[in-house]
């Protein structure tokens, strides 16, 4: 690519295995069309991971031909749980299991390493922000949305007037741990599902890959012991299930119908709390064949109870560009932070 001579922000998406990077000009153009990944090194500890993020920034600038002096800010997202300012939970997490990560200020460390302002969101909030801005475009700053991101767990985000609602401790939008009504959702004799967090019957206990492996699939396979997945190890069976659902397998569709119904009940709760303009669904569950993902989204909508007035203005949609959503979302957050910053005041002579 040729060199760029306009100011930019950089978005860095940190994951368990890879870092992805993007560049956004201050006039709103993304300069990277797809994934631009390098190993994230998170298993090697915080120092190695911060260096990997610095390499990711250098790499995306080289790729786009942007001189470093034109970078005004950096957006960073990581998996949670973490505070609103980017301090990893004191108990760690799946991706940040080593003791050195517990309570680690990843945002502050990257800011010191780069010498640039760093804006932080968790990966669910970042994807939510990207979905919101892509969907609403020029109206993004006067619209609201909620997003549910289904993966190993269930993340999400609340966006109000174009900005993520973080909450006092940075834990707003943790939809996975909202309790949902189970009556009519579970089949006769189906045990109440438990979440890895210890809750019984929260949304993540059903609408997540972990929920499939721990609760949903064992129950359905016990009722259908001749199903091909019954012969597979639990982890592998859970990961293969979506392929069966794409092909119309009845048992697989039963499982995903329960997940979609759980998300619908979650969105019903959200409708009564925030009454958003849009409800977005993202994550691995919808990285699937078009027929399956449209069926899944329609099933979510059918299980979301809205008032007539709400239904008239609400939209249901999929999070676009899932693999790029994190980096692009935090790039947008960095750009919005720049726009919201007060202009420097002139110094008056004595």
Q: Nearest Cα to 205, choosing from 186, 228, 225, 188?
A: 186
In 15-88, beta strands by DSSP E = 18-25, 37-39, 71-78
For the ranges 12-16, 31-35, 113-117, the maximum mean pLDDT occurs at: 113-117
If one counts every other C-beta atom within 10 angstroms of the C-beta of residue 65, the result is 13
pLDDT, the chain, mean: 93
Rounded to 5°, angle at Cα 319 from 285 and 163:
130
Q: pTM for the complete prediction?
A: 0.90
Q: Tens of pLDDT along 189-215? A: 999 999 888 899 999 999 999 999 999
- Count Cα atoms within 13 angstroms, Cβ side, for 284: 15
Give Cβ neighbours of residue 299 (< 8 Å, ≥ 6 apart).
256, 257, 260, 261, 264
Q: Nearest Cα to 217, choosing from 191, 196, 197, 199?
A: 191
pLDDT at 251: 97
DSSP-derived secondary structure for 220-277: HHHH-TTSGGGGS-HHHHHHHHHHHHHTT-HHHHHHHHHHHHHHHHHHHHHHHHT--S
Q: Tens of pLDDT along 32-77? A: 998 999 999 999 999 999 999 999 999 999 999 999 999 999 999 9
175: its two tokens: 């939809």
List strands edge to edge, sheet with 144-150.
163-164, 154-160, 144-150, 278-283, 315-318
Q: Nearest Cα to 51, choosing from 100, 114, 3?
A: 114
CA 68/CA 201 separation, integer angstroms: 49
- Beta-sheet pairing, 118-122 with 163-164: unpaired
Q: Are the CB atoms for 201 and 258 separated by under 8 Å?
A: no
Q: Tens of pLDDT along 311-320? A: 999 999 999 8
End-to-end CA distance of the chain: 49
Average pLDDT over residues 183-187: 95
Only one residue has tokens 């960095």, namely 334
Average pLDDT over residues 296-309: 98
**For residue 2, is pLDDT > 60?**
no
Rounded to 5°, angle at Cα 219 from 215 and 223:
170
b/e 172-193 (16+ beta carbons within 10 angstroms → b): bbbbbbbebebeebbeeeeeeb
pLDDT at 91: 82
């Amino acid at each position: 690519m040729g060199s760029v001579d306009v100011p930019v922000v950089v978005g860095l998406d940190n994951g368990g295995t890879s870092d992805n990077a993007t560049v956004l000009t201050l006039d709103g153009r993304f300069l990277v069309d797809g994934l631009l990944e390098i190993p994230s090194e998170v298993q090697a500890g915080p120092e190695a991971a911060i260096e990997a993020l610095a390499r990711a920034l250098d790499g995306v600038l080289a790729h786009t031909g942007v001189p470093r002096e034109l970078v005004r800010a950096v957006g960073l997202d990581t998996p949670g749980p973490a505070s609103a300012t980017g301090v990893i939970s004191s108990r760690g997490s799946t991706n940040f299991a080593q003791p050195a990560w517990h309570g680690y200020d990843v945002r502050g460390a990257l800011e010191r390493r780069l010498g640039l302002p760093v804006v932080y969101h968790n990966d669910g909030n970042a994807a939510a922000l990207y979905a919101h801005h892509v969907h609403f475009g020029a109206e993004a700053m006067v619209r609201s949305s909620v997003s549910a991101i289904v993966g190993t767990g269930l993340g999400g985000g609340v966006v109000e007037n174009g900005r993520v609602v973080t909450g006092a401790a940075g834990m707003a939008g943790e939809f996975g741990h909202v309790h949902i009504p189970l009556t009519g959702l579970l089949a006769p004799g189906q045990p109440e599902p438990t979440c890895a967090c210890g809750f019984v019957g929260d949304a993540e206990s059903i609408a997540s890959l972990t929920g499939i492996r721990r609760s949903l699939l064992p129950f359905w396979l016990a009722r259908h012991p001749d199903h091909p997945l019954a012969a597979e190890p639990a982890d592998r069976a859970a990961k293969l299930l979506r392929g069966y659902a794409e092909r119309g397998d009845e048992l697989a569709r039963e499982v995903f119908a329960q997940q979609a119904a759980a998300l619908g009940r979650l969105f019903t709760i959200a409708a009564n709390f925030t009454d958003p303009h849009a409800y977005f669904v993202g994550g691995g569950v919808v990285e699937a064949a078009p027929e399956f993902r449209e069926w899944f989204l329609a099933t979510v909508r059918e299980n979301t109870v809205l008032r007539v007035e709400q239904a008239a203005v609400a939209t249901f949609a999929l999070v676009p560009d899932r693999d790029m959503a994190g980096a692009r979302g935090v790039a947008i957050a960095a750009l919005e932070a720049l726009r919201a910053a007060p202009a420097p005041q002139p110094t008056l002579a004595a």
